């Protein structure tokens, strides 16, 4: 039986383990922490289930194979996703993504309409700031995007961002329904109160799992890793740890931004106004987002748990959308020898939701 060694027992590592098992590999998963699931693991705070930042499934409607994949393991409840953004200069909440219909309620609507018209004729943007100004004009950019993005990435200037597919999420200007992703994505959450936890356990059933076992060094020519001073080798090696670590940071360390999560229980059934349960803060508040978890998890309680997210340099969560960092990651990935693969948000240095990771794993299985 061919042997597969997987570094990292997060969502990507567990998913790869599950698929390799089906291909009859003898799989070993090596996880630094004491639990499986990485960023997607559900924990409990005074009975309330939560993940570190919300973790609902956002699956492209056409990706029925991905939805079916999740449904094999979990009972899913479909959700309608609604977001608000607080704009302190207008002293009010608007829906997010910025909705075309709400411009008429803004105090500076005439300026905004003029700017949108002007932006429509603008050329190809070179950076994140230009992209947004061209799309929605200076005023909306300043209200919704400018400060939020600088806060999110802890940067002084949004011109630094030259990859802008991701943050802040969403379309430049939404029309029609105010429901996020309507007609584009299925939004869903496991019915099980422990979220995806049972998925991780099922994925690694029959595999060898080493918890509390950080990989401290890679020996990729041997398709091996060093754990507790021991070399563990495979016929194939799949990495989901940060790709710079695989090469002992030879081209330099990759830059990430993290999050701190403040959990607060409030003595009310529900705190956010229906149908909203995600609130972004676009100004210089120290936090980026508030999420009311029970609206995702379905947990029943007379109290409610909100998670408040603060940008932090204490953990590695979001790869930076900077060309220099993306190029650095590509240089690392280009050095991988045969039968060594890299997956996941750290392994590929790319922010991907769970659905994309499933797709990546499916693609990988075609070449293994
Ligand atoms: C705040 C936030 C909110 C998010 N919300 C959503 C959402 O709503 N929907 C969605 O689909 N996705 C969401 N995501 C993305 C989702 O978290 C990722 O898709 C998923 O976690 C990626 O899985 P992964 O295995 O690549 O990384 P992780 O889940 O982070 O797992 C990596 C694992 O590798 C381990 N590891 C790292 N280095 C080593 C080492 N040297 N040795 C051994 N083990 C190691 C870590 O301990 C960890 O368990 C969100 C992400 C963030 C940051």
Residues of the chain with pLDDT under 50: 166-169
Q: How far is the CA of 40 from the centre of ligand 1 (A)?
A: 6
DSSP H helices, the chain, are: 11-22, 64-73, 109-119, 128-140, 147-153, 197-204, 243-246, 294-297, 323-334, 344-347, 354-367
Chain mean pLDDT for the chain: 95
- Starting at the edge strand that comes first in sequence, how are the strands of the sheet with 224-227 ordered? 217-219, 224-227, 230-233
Instruction: Return the sign of the alpha-carbon dihedral for residues 254, 208, 354, 63.
Output: positive
pLDDT of the residue at 283: 96
For ligand 1, whether the C-beta of 18 sits within 6 Å is no
pLDDT of the residue at 270: 98
* Residue 6 token pair: 């997987």
pLDDT of the residue at 117: 86
pLDDT tens digits along 44-55: 999 999 999 999
pLDDT of the residue at 165: 57
Q: How far is the CA of 108 from the centre of ligand 1 (A)?
A: 41
Q: Which atom, in ligand 1's list, is nearest to the CA of 41?
A: 29
pLDDT of the residue at 168: 45
Q: Output the residue whose Cα is nearest ligand 1's atom 7.
A: 55
Bond prior to 168 in cis (omega within 30° of 0): yes
For ligand 1, whether the C-beta of 225 sits within 6 Å is no
Q: How far is the CA of 271 from the centre of ligand 1 (A)?
A: 28
Q: How far is the CA of 38 from the centre of ligand 1 (A)?
A: 5
For ligand 1, whether the C-beta of 311 sits within 6 Å is no
pLDDT of the residue at 172: 78
pLDDT of the residue at 78: 97
Structural domains in the chain plus CATH codes? 1-41+196-254+321-368 (3.40.50.720), 83-178 (no CATH)
């Amino acid at each position: 039986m061919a042997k597969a060694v997987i570094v990292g027992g997060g969502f990507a590592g567990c998913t790869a383990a599950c698929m390799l098992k089906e291909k009859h590999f003898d799989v070993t998963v090596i996880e630094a922490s004491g639990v499986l699931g990485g960023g997607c693991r559900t924990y409990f705070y005074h009975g309330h289930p939560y993940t570190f930042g919300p973790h609902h499934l956002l699956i492209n409607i056409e990706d029925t194979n991905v939805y079916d994949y999740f449904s094999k393991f979990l009972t899913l409840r479909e959700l309608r996703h609604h977001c608000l953004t607080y704009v302190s200069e207008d002293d009010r909440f608007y829906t997010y993504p910025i909705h075309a219909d709400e411009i008429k309620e803004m105090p500076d609507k005439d300026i905004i309409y003029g700017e949108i018209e002007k932006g429509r004729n603008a050329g190809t943007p070179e950076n994140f700031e230009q992209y947004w100004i061209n799309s929605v004009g200076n005023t909306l950019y300043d209200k919704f995007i400018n400060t939020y993005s600088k806060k999110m990435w802890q940067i002084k200037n949004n011109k630094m961002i030259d990859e802008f597919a991701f943050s802040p999420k969403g379309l430049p200007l939404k029309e029609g329904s105010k429901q996020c992703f309507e007609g584009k994505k299925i939004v869903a959450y496991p019915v099980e109160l422990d979220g995806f936890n049972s998925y991780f356990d099922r994925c690694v059933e029959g595999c060898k799992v080493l918890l509390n076992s950080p990989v401290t060094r890679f020996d990729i020519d041997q398709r091996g890793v060093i754990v507790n001073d021991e070399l563990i080798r495979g016929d194939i090696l799949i990495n989901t740890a940060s790709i710079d670590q695989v090469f002992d940071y030879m081209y330099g360390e990759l830059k990430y931004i993290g999050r701190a999560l403040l959990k607060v229980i409030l003595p009310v059934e529900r705190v956010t106004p229906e149908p909203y349960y995600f609130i972004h803060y676009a100004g210089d508040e120290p936090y980026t987002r508030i999420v009311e978890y029970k609206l995702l998890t379905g947990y029943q309680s007379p109290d409610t748990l909100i998670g408040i997210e603060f940008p932090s340099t204490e953990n590695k969560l979001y790869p930076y959308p900077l060309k220099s960092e993306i190029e650095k990651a590509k240089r690392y990935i280009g050095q991988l020898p045969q039968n060594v693969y890299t997956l996941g948000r750290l392994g590929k240095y790319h922010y991907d939701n769970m659905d994309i990771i499933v797709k990546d794993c499916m693609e990988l299985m075609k070449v293994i």
